Amino acid sequence: MTNQSSQEVDLLIHGGVVITMDQKRRIYDPGFVAIQGGKITGAGSPNDCPYVGKERLDASDMVVLPGIVNAHDHLDQSVYRSCSDEKQGSRDRLLRMARGLTRERARTAATLSLLELVHYGVTTTQENHWTHYHLDSTDGICEAIRQSGMRAVVSRGMSDVEEYTPKDFVERAEDVLTDLDRLEREYDSEHIRITSEPTTILRCTPGAVAAMRDWALRRGKSWHIHLAQTSDELDDALRTVGMGSVQYAERLGVLGPEMLAVHCSGLLDTEVELFGKYQVRIAHCPVTQMRGGNKVPPIWELEKLGALVAIGTDGSGTNNGQNPWEAMKMAVYMQRVRFEDRYLGTAEQALEMMTIKAAEVLGMGDRVGSLEAGKEADIAMFRRDQLHLLPGAMLVNNLVHSGLNNMADTVLVGGKVVLSRGRSTMVDEKEIAVRVREVQKAMIKEAGLEGDIGLSSSWPVITR
């Protein structure tokens, strides 16, 4: 029977360690989270809990976190995983395969990436899609997001400079704007936000960059761009425009807090201050930067100067995985290598950059990223008896520095369970495994890459 002084809610998560990521970064051990109508109504200590739940979820052996927020990704790239490794011309290989990325194949590929993400506790991701040989491939990705029950900010990318982009992937800005209008009408919702992205400052003409930015600003949305993406981009910028990519963006008048700049690795020292001056939002993807042998951006110096930095996994075409915990760990360790300081950075900083800060970078800080009253009930729960989290005296450090294998037990998005006991409640995981193998095999064959892509890039493979 309900106590008259108690408030009834749809779901009460009780017990376990609750890491709120609220303004004071409070941790309750044990704690509770109350959910009503898909939103959090309260979080705190059981002794102060005024709620009773129509349903109760025992989290006694769990750590309860806000859903992880992934600041940058390419969901379609699961089908390219490892296919562009360790070889010159890897981008050409990816684009050859991308010619076979139909709407249905994009949906299958994105479904696999979303499955990986949710298994690691991700509830919100950024998504950039920029290979539109099949013009409805973005639709397949949006359909996969809808089916997953997760949230995403989807930036529809484009390129219009043939020097850097094969002709059949070059698009006209006016055509892309028309497609953005269509995508916004069809998919903008509580779970999906459509926005614009000129892929890089060099792969797009100044007119296209301005048009894509203006499309987003007219709608009160942030716009996205891969900026100073690699050391190669820096060399290209110096050769073609006589300055760094960020300096060129300033000349074009497009730097500002409405910009989400991805990577920001190929920087001149003088460009670091520009990010702070214009309060640019940044998605740092450390694993991709290491894979590409690129410079290490000074992420905490950027923040001190006024930028806002979050962490992203990037896509499996350049990362090979979708593990946010790996990205958190590498983000800290890369800074220590760059600055030769073994104590630089903390696990707490890294976790902030894939929860509350990532939410702010995506323009969703009022909705997700922490366990606070009024926010969406996006929650990830991890069993504390996973071997790598033991003994557990320094739990936050364990999660980040030992947590490459952090697999969620239960994940909720808007109060709805999308992962239960480590299995998706939204899609058939076995079916996706079969389909994605078939898709990759077909795309490799159609691209004429069967002789280049195999079980090993150099060792002999005997099949009979």
For 397, counting Cβ atoms within 10 Å of its Cβ (0-12 exposed, 13-18 middle, 19+ buried), the class is middle
Contacts for 229-233 with beta carbons within 8 Å, 24 or more apart? 229/200, 229/262, 229/263, 229/265, 229/266, 230/263, 230/265, 230/266, 230/292, 230/294, 231/265, 231/266, 231/292, 231/293, 231/294, 231/295, 232/266, 233/200, 233/202, 233/266
Contact (CB, 8 A) for 17 and 33: no
For 343, counting Cβ atoms within 10 Å of its Cβ (0-12 exposed, 13-18 middle, 19+ buried), the class is exposed
Contact (CB, 8 A) for 110 and 76: yes
Q: How many CA atoms lie within 13 A of 86 on its CB side?
A: 8
In angstroms, the CA 15 to CA 312 distance is: 30
Closest CA to 395 of 64, 123, 43, 68: 64
- Assess if residue 87 is contained within a domain: yes
Compute CA distances 418 → 11, 30, 148, 381, whole Å.
15, 24, 7, 12
> Structural domain tally of the chain?
1
Estimate the share of the chain in helix, then strand, then coil, as percent rounded to the nearest 5.
Answer: 40, 20, 40
- Assess if residue 282 is contained within a domain: yes
Residue 164: predicted pLDDT: 86
In angstroms, the CA 232 to CA 219 distance is: 33
| Cβ count within 10 A of residue 163 | 8
In angstroms, the CA 80 to CA 98 distance is: 9
- Assess if residue 463 is contained within a domain: no
Sign of the alpha-carbon dihedral angle for 217, 414, 143, 165: positive
- Assess if residue 149 is contained within a domain: yes
Alpha-helical (H) ranges within 340-424 are: 347-352, 356-361, 395-401
Contact (CB, 8 A) for 61 and 16: yes
Q: What is the pLDDT along the chain (464 residues), one digit of tens a residue?
A: 345 568 999 999 999 999 999 999 999 999 999 999 999 999 999 999 999 999 999 999 999 999 999 999 999 999 999 887 756 667 788 899 999 999 999 999 999 999 999 999 999 999 999 999 999 999 999 999 999 999 999 999 999 999 888 899 999 999 999 999 999 999 999 999 999 999 999 999 999 999 999 999 999 999 999 999 998 999 999 999 999 999 999 999 999 999 999 999 999 999 999 999 999 999 999 999 998 889 999 999 999 999 999 999 999 998 999 999 999 999 999 999 999 999 999 999 999 999 999 999 999 999 999 999 999 999 999 999 999 999 999 999 999 999 999 999 999 999 999 999 999 999 999 999 999 999 999 999 999 998 888 888 889 989 88
Which secondary-structure segment (H or E) carries 276? helix 272-277
Residue 308: predicted pLDDT: 98
- Assess if residue 22 is contained within a domain: no
Residue 441: predicted pLDDT: 96
What's this model's pTM, rounded to 2 decimal places? 0.97
In angstroms, the CA 79 to CA 330 distance is: 24
Show the domain range for 182: 69-361
- Assess if residue 24 is contained within a domain: no
Residue 457: predicted pLDDT: 81
Residue 1: predicted pLDDT: 38
Contact (CB, 8 A) for 432 and 147: no
3-class SS string, 299-342: HHHHHHHCCEEEECCCCCCCCCCCCHHHHHHHHHHHHHHHHCCC
Largest Cα–Cα separation, the chain: 75
How many H-runs (helices) and E-runs (strands) does the chain carry?
15, 19
Per DSSP, what are the bridge partners of residue 155?
Answer: 128, 195
For residue 178, what is the domain's CATH number? 3.20.20.140
- Assess if residue 21 is contained within a domain: no
Question: How many residues in total does the chain contain?
Answer: 464
- Assess if residue 303 is contained within a domain: yes
